[in-house]
Amino acid sequence: MSDDKTNMNEHYETLVVHGDHKLDEATGGIAPPIHPSSTFAFKNADQGAEFFKDPTAGFIYTRIGNPTTHLLCDKIAALEGYSHALTFSSGMAAIYAIFIGYAGPGESIVISDTIYGGTNGLIRNTMATSGIDFRWVDCTKLDEVEAAIDNTTKLIFIETPANPTLKIIDIEAISNIAKKHNILSVVDNTFQTPYLQKPREFGTDIVMHSATKYLGGHGDLVAGLITFDEKYFDKLFHVLVDTGGILSPFNAWILLRGIKTLHVRMDRHCENAKKVAEFLEGHPAIDRIWYPGLKSHPQYELGQKQMTGDGGMISFDLKGGKNAGRTVMDSVHVCTLAVSLGDVDTLIQHPASMTHSSYSEKDLLETGITPGLVRLSVGLEHVDDIIDDLKSALDKV
Ligand SMILES: Cc1ncc(COP(=O)(O)O)c(C=O)c1O
């Protein structure tokens, strides 16, 4: 943790605000400085050689380490409860580092069958020649997870709640299975953020984020984060340094700024989403709705056990299928028709033809990403305006 003034008795919200708090001794500035330097001068040749032997001993070159991105590492590690973290140019770069860092030819990874479409695309396209056997499993079925593991398996990778169906996976049960087989458990915690879900408390080894979403929160950057304990550092650090998918110091700084309001934003995302979900649940044009905070969610109890808030994401299936979905998306004005999520703006999109278009028709149907499924990332506008907008769009169906 970066803050030598951090008091463990302070509340989590204080950690969110102060977690990166290193006052600039020269100026007293309370905002951290941005260090754009690509390279850092050594005091002498011996020091240069020393830093190359141990790159954590000082700054060498920004692909290897940078003071601003290090502040961000300290912050996300503190918020998730781990000792170490690394920052990446995107969530996808972070996921790639985990896969390539921990598995190789002849080895296997157990992966949740409902997952962000880009992760599915990475596995089906770029990783197709990696020699890694990806085993797709409905990770709500623990016996199927067990059955997919053998002595080639290196890790289990899950996303919960899953993008886009909001299926909830039992983090503790998955961590226990991973421990039993002496393999790693990894959680993509993008949807909930550490404010609403801390996988480490349930035994997860590695947590990753598309920080592009709620952590950044304002739709103005793309970033990925991985956080873990020290023993995992070397491997992931080398993938990052060797492949070069680093986060720029400027984007690290914007992210540090965004995270300072995480708790306030997440509370309002949850509050607004619950009201929108209750409105949608009663609407005659809607066949089904998935929101972890509704008792109708098939894993409502599990969600309440492992999350401290229900989040800002809703999916719903329209009775009129894809055409009805198109009408709704083309009729909204307060909501914006755009992919991504976790922004202050409410975003609406169609997973089957957009974020999850890398899925085959068969996989879409098997994982419940139906043609009429619409995904909503509820933002921070006045909730009545979001509901009125959706109401007038749904009335056109
Ligand atoms: C759950 C989840 N994981 C990972 C990613 C990939 O992150 P990025 O777009 O920052 O590469 C996304 C992007 O939407 C996502 O929703």
CATH level 3 topology of 263-395? Aspartate Aminotransferase, domain 1 (3.90.1150)
Q: Please give the biggest Cα pair distance in the chain.
A: 73
Q: Residue 20: pLDDT band by 50, 70, 90 thresholds?
A: low
Among residues 352, 289, 353, 347, the alpha carbon closest in space to that of 318 is found at: 289
In this predicted structure, the answer to whether residue 268 has a pLDDT above a threshold of 80 is yes
DSSP state for residue 227 in the 8-state scheme? E
Q: Using the mean position of ligand 1's atoms as its centre, give its distance from the Cα of residue 151 in Å.
A: 30
CA of 330 to the centre of ligand 1 (A): 24
Q: What is the mean pLDDT of residues 70-97?
A: 97
Residue closest via CA to ligand 1's atom 2 equals: 116
**Alpha helices (H) along the chain:** 12-18, 45-53, 67-80, 91-102, 117-124, 142-148, 171-180, 193-196, 233-243, 249-259, 262-281, 300-306, 321-331, 361-366, 383-395
What was the pLDDT predicted at 7?
Answer: 55
Q: Looking at ligand 1, which residue's alpha carbon is closest to its atom 6?
A: 91
* Closest-lying ligand 1 atom to the alpha carbon of residue 190: 1
Per-residue pLDDT tens over the stretch 285-310: 999 999 999 999 999 999 999 999 99
Mean pLDDT value of segment 50-57: 96
Model confidence at 29, pLDDT cuts 50, 70, 90, reads: confident
Are the C-beta atoms of 228 and 187 separated by less than 8 Å? no
Is 60 exceeded by the pLDDT of residue 2?
no
Sequence length of the chain is 397
- pLDDT score of 4: 39
Separation of 190 CA from ligand 1 center, angstroms? 7
pLDDT: which is higher, 161 or 9: 161
287 contact partners, CB below 8 Å, separation of at least 6: 316, 317, 318, 319, 372
**b/e sequence 230-239, b meaning 16+ C-beta within 10 Å:** eebeeebbeb
Q: Is 245 in the pocket of ligand 1 (CB under 6 A)?
A: no
- Residue of 88, 169, 210, 354 with the most ligand 1 atoms within 8 Å of its CB, for mutation: 210
Contacts of 137 (CB under 8 A, 6+ apart): 110, 111, 112, 113, 144, 145, 148
CA 393 – CA 375 distance, rounded (Å): 15
Contact in structure between 272 and 379 (CB atoms under 8 Å): yes
Calpha distance 365→260 (Å, rounded): 39
The mean pLDDT of the chain is 95
CB contact at 8 A, 312 and 270 = yes
Residue 261: which of 304, 305, 217 has the closest Cα? 217
Rounded mean pLDDT, 29-47: 95
Output the pLDDT for position 1: 31
pTM of this prediction? 0.96
Determine the CATH number of domain 12-259.
Answer: 3.40.640.10
212 CA: nearest ligand 1 atom: 10
- Give me the residue spans of the domains in the chain: 12-259, 263-395
